[in-house]
Amino acid sequence: MSRVFNFSAGPSVLPEVVLKQAAEEMMDYKGSGMSVMEMSHRSKVYDSIIKEAEQDLRDLMEIPDNYKVLFLQGGASQQFAAVPMNLMKNGVADYIITGQWAKKAYEEAQKYGKANAVASSADKTFSYIPDCSNLPISEDADYVYICHNNTIYGTTYKKLPDTKGKILVADMSSDILSQPVNVSDYGLIFFGVQKNVGPAGVVVVIIREDLIRDDVMPFTPTMLKYKTQADNDSLYNTPPCYGIYICGLVFKWVKEMGGLSAMKVHNEKKAAILYDFLDSSKMFSGTVVKEDRSLMNVPFVTGNEELDAKFVKEATAAGFVNLKGHRTVGGMRASIYNAMPIEGVEKLVQFMKDFEAANS
């Protein structure tokens, strides 16, 4: 067996101990005589898997009792529709456009009501987070929407927008569990799990109970109505059982790592190794403003497309894979999620130093 250092933006690297445990439990989960993939979602043994996963996530994020945790399908993108269908009571919402995912959510919301773009960083290829201290928030906005970490561009909010009392909704797909979150600051948080938590196919919604309503838009599909899912503890239909099981193992791993404060220290240390090098290098440079740098996704360029391509090719051959930047940005991007070991970043930086020496 030989494992590479996988810098993929998603689906992405998972903790090795989790993969090993899943392999060990594959044929016979805890004496049940079957794989988690083979068991009824209504069985006692599966019930404890999903309940424990929820409890561990609640412990990690210190989720208050008046929030529901839903394990759903459809990915983060499905929530771009579910959020307006469920939360637009006045038919108005304000969106902050900090990248492609925020933009897609904004465009989807326009199908269901009046979605306003109240701030954007599109003018500079989303390389910064706009000033959100005094936004023109709509008086009748049902919520203000942000993408908390911009996976493609590598920016993140260091300070939350002033929503002027409106509910804040956040897509945290690419930075969930990377640092502590004050859940009470939000009405709703959702994340597709395939960046920092588990296999694609699961999306988790954390929603304040008073926002779970029956009087959603009349055409809202039963499956997309939060009330349906909340009333049935995410078991209205067959949930993505195996994916939820892996998420549960990752939650336990994060707990063992010391929880979210420890994860933050670990991630800051890891990111600093790469950012410090980018700041000192004559060949490589980061593409976003320093104040808004993400701890999870680090885009960088050499300034020469041919050299970028050569770097990606040689890095791949050396076992540093999936470093090619998003097609809309070019260059490179190293995604250094929770499960990327410090050693992976140290070795990548050494490789970059050697590449720079050999090519300048």
Ligand X SMILES: *Cc1c(COP(=O)(O)O)cnc(C)c1O
Active-site residues: which are they?
101, 171, 195
Shortest Å, Cβ 149 to ligand X: 6
Cα gap 207→213, rounded to integer Å: 11
Shortest Å, Cβ 248 to ligand X: 19
Cα gap 25→10, rounded to integer Å: 25
- Of 165, 148, 146, residue with least CA distance to 157: 148
DSSP codes of every residue in 27-68:
SSSTTSSS-GGGS-TTSHHHHHHHHHHHHHHHHHHT--TTEE
Shortest Å, Cβ 65 to ligand X: 27
Cα gap 12→67, rounded to integer Å: 28
CA distances (Å), 251 to each of 40, 191, 246, 341, in order? 22, 14, 9, 17
Shortest Å, Cβ 202 to ligand X: 9
Cα gap 146→102, rounded to integer Å: 7
Question: Are 199 and 242 contacting, i.e. CB atoms less than 8 angstroms apart?
Answer: yes
Compare residues 145 and 311 and give the one whose CB is closer to ligand X.
145
Compare residues 229 and 302 and give the one whose CB is closer to ligand X.
229
The two three-digit tokens of residue 340, written as one number? 């990327």
Shortest Å, Cβ 242 to ligand X: 16
Cα gap 74→193, rounded to integer Å: 11
Neighbour count for residue 333 (Cβ, 10 Å): 24
- Of 44, 3, 42, 49, residue with least CA distance to 22: 49
Shortest Å, Cβ 164 to ligand X: 24
Binding positions for ligand X, rule: CB under 6 A:
10, 75-77, 101, 147, 151, 171, 173-174, 192, 195
Compare residues 116 and 155 and give the one whose CB is closer to ligand X.
155
Cα gap 204→157, rounded to integer Å: 21
Shortest Å, Cβ 167 to ligand X: 19
Compare residues 150 and 220 and give the one whose CB is closer to ligand X.
150
Compare residues 195 and 252 and give the one whose CB is closer to ligand X.
195
Compare residues 145 and 351 and give the one whose CB is closer to ligand X.
145
Compare residues 174 and 322 and give the one whose CB is closer to ligand X.
174
State which residue has the least CB distance to ligand X.
75
Question: Are 176 and 196 contacting, i.e. CB atoms less than 8 angstroms apart?
Answer: yes
Cα gap 187→278, rounded to integer Å: 37
- Of 5, 8, 351, 13, residue with least CA distance to 197: 13
